[in-house]
Amino acid sequence: MLTLPPFEYHSPTTVEEAVALLRQHRGQVKVIAGGTDLVPNMKHRLFTPAHVVGLKAIAGLDRVAEEGPDIRLGAMCTIAQLARDPLVQKTLPSLAAAASQIAGPQLREMGTLGGNICLDTRCVYYNQTYFWRKALGFCLKKDGTVCHVVQGGQRCVAAASNDTVPVLMTLNARVRAVGTNGLREIPIAELYVPDGIVNTVLAPEELVVEVRVPRPEGRLIAGYQKLRVRASIDYPALTIAVAAKIDPADRAEWIRVVVSALGARPHLVGGLERFRGRRFDQGLAAEVSQVAYRQCHPLTNINVDPAWRREMVPVFVRRAFARAQLSGSGYFEKEGAQRTSDSPPPPNTPTQQTR
């Protein structure tokens, strides 16, 4: 079986202690939360840290709570916990939906919100064994100098594959991290940079401890759609999160669409301000989907036909809106809005569908 390389294990009991360990062993240390990303990556020798810092002994990082205008989600909340939590299901249904579609059941029991936010980017030329990568001649992201996705590419385009992040971006979440200079709060839309090697602005010794999501007020609808080949286990080939604030006259106050599993950072679709004040219906969703389509350019970094993935962008944006939820019920059903021909959720079998 694939082995893990040797390392020393540390089990701090406070965040401060953890941060101190990260500082002390800077450059030779990795944090382990659920381990679902780190352990396979270490088995692939993508990381061979001399030290691994576990967070399980730190109390209080796995809470879900309401506080003031926010929903607070601890970084050590498991994905399964998010999917099942009644508060998350009620107030942040698109997040619960995204969480429930991550990987497979066991991975959801293990993986954490913090881990998902800090998930290493993924690429078919990167997430492989040492032998495989050596046979390839290595790549830009690890041990090599060339990009195999983009001929002559100088910047790594490994794909952001975190399912929760697009949703959190549409909901304007903030990520709280503790580093050597104490706590800071980063709007999640500003957390990611277009560099597949390290795609966050977090400092090496910074630890994500919490996510705060403004409690949705008024008529805020949010939806999530995921494309993957299998209905379980797989990482996304495409993730789409949508949200819209709708005024009492059924006009859009704002619309946000995030498309991910394309490149190094989740893509917040730009130029949607122009739809402000338009009547929010399926026709508008279709227009928005075309804007998204024009901005999205999937690559061969994921082993699913990029041309097809691209064509699925508008389809899944439309479907995300069509099935978007307002406090647990479909907006369009609730509002009695007309279904158009492009919102069929037809087959009752979930195979290959939107998971």
Partner 1 sequence: MLGRPQKILISLDLNGQRYELAVEPRSTLLEAIRYAAGLTGSKQGCDKGDCGACTVLSNGAPILSCISLAVEHQGDRITTIEGLAHGGKVHPVQDAFDLCGALQCGFCQSGMMISAAALLERNPKPTREQIKEALSGNLCRCTGYTKILEAVEVASGQRQLAELDPRPTTGSPA
Partner 2 sequence: MSFGKKLNVVGRRLRKVDGLQKATGAAVYADDIKLPRMLHCKILRSPHAHARIKRIDFSRCLEHPGVVAVLEGKEIPTRYGVIPWTPDEQALAADKARFVGDEVAAVAAEDELAAEEALELIDVEYEVLPPLIDPAEALREQRIKIHEGSKQGNISKHVELSFGDVAAGFDRCAAIADETFYYEGSTHTPIEPHCAIGNYDADGNLTVWSSTQIPHYVHRELSRVLELPEARVRVIQPFLGGAFGGKSDPFSLEFVVAKLSMKTGRPVKCLFTREEVFWAHRGRHPMKMRFKVGLSETGRIESVDSKILIDGGAYSSFGLVTAYYAGQLLTGPYQFGAYHFDSTRVFTNKPPCGPKRGHGSVQPRFAFEVALDMAAEKLGLDPIEVRRRNFIGENVKTINGQLITSNGFLRCLDLVEKASGWKERKGKLGFGRGLGVAGSMYISGTAYPVYPNEMPQAGIQVKLDRSGKVTIFSGASDIGQGSNSVPAYLIAEEIGCDPRDCLVVVSDTDLTPVDLGAYSSRVTFMLGIACVEAGRKLWAQISAAVAEKWGVEAARIEGSLGTIFVPETALSMSFKEAVRLAEAKFGTLGATGSYRTEKLGGDYRGGTIGASPAYSFTAHAVEVQVDPETGIWTVERVWAAHDCGKALNPTLVEGQIEGSVYMGYAEAAMEEMTYLPSGLHRGPSLLDYRIPTSLDTPELTAMIVESGDPKGPYGAKEAGEGPLHPVIPAISNAIHDAVGIWLTELPFHPGKLLRLLREKDKPRAPVPPVEERISAAGESRA
Binding residues vs partner 1 (CB under 8 A): 1-9, 11, 32, 35-36, 39-40, 43-44, 52, 54, 56, 80, 103-107, 109-110, 231-233
First CA to last CA across the chain, in angstroms? 30
- Please give the residues from 242 up to 261 whose contact with partner 2 meets the rule CB under 8 A: 259
**Exposure class string for 184-193: b at 16+ Cβ within 10 A, else e:** eebebbebbe
CA neighbor of 313 nearest in space, from 244, 254, 252, 236: 236
312 binds, among partner 1, partner 2, none (CB under 5 to 8 A by kind): partner 2
- Least distance to partner 1, CB of residue 54, Å: 5
Question: Interacting stretch for partner 2, rule CB under 8 A, among 23-31, 49-57, 87-95, 341-349?
Answer: 341-349
151 binds, among partner 2, partner 1, none (CB under 5 to 8 A by kind): partner 2
In terms of CB distance, is 43 or 310 closer to partner 1?
43
Q: Tell which phi-psi region holds residue 218, choosing left (phi > 0), alpha (psi between -120 and 50) or beta.
A: left
- Please give the residues from 107 up to 136 whose contact with partner 2 meets the rule CB under 8 A: 124, 127-129, 131-132, 134-136
Alpha-helix runs per DSSP H in the chain? 15-24, 38-43, 79-84, 86-91, 93-100, 105-110, 113-117, 130-136, 164-170, 282-295, 306-322, 331-335
**Residues 253, 256: Cα–Cα separation, whole Å:** 10
153 is an interface residue for partner 2 by CB under 8 A: yes
* CA separation, residue 308 to residues 101, 224, 293, 338 (Å): 21, 19, 12, 28
| Residue from 232, 276, 279, 328 binding partner 2 (CB under 8 A) | 232
| Residue from 67, 151, 249, 336 binding partner 2 (CB under 8 A) | 151
193 is an interface residue for partner 2 by CB under 8 A: no
In terms of CB distance, is 224 or 280 closer to partner 1?
224
Lookup: tokens for 80: 């399964």
- Least distance to partner 2, CB of residue 334, Å: 24
CB 293 within 8 A of CB 310: yes
| Residue from 22, 186, 211, 264 binding partner 2 (CB under 8 A) | 264
- Least distance to partner 1, CB of residue 28, Å: 13
238 is an interface residue for partner 2 by CB under 8 A: no
CB 130 within 8 A of CB 44: yes
330 is an interface residue for partner 2 by CB under 8 A: no
Question: Interacting stretch for partner 2, rule CB under 8 A, among 13-21, 165-173, 228-236, 249-257?
Answer: 228-236
Angle at 304 between CA 259 and CA 244, to 5 degrees: 15
- Least distance to partner 1, CB of residue 55, Å: 9
CA neighbor of 22 nearest in space, from 48, 60, 52, 46: 52
Spatial neighbors of 239 by CB under 8 A, at least 6 apart, are 98, 163, 166, 224, 225, 226, 227, 259, 260, 261, 266
353 is an interface residue for partner 2 by CB under 8 A: yes
- Least distance to partner 2, CB of residue 79, Å: 17
197 binds, among partner 1, partner 2, none (CB under 5 to 8 A by kind): none
87 binds, among partner 1, partner 2, none (CB under 5 to 8 A by kind): none
Lookup: tokens for 58: 């730190």
110 binds, among partner 2, partner 1, none (CB under 5 to 8 A by kind): partner 1
Count the alpha carbons within 13 Å of 309 in the hemisphere toward its beta carbon.
Answer: 26
Where do contacts with partner 2 occur on this chain (CB under 8 A)? Answer: 1-3, 5-6, 104, 124, 127-129, 131-132, 134-136, 149-151, 153, 155, 157, 194, 229-235, 259, 262-264, 267, 290, 293-299, 303, 305-308, 310-312, 314-315, 341-342, 344, 346-347, 349-353, 355
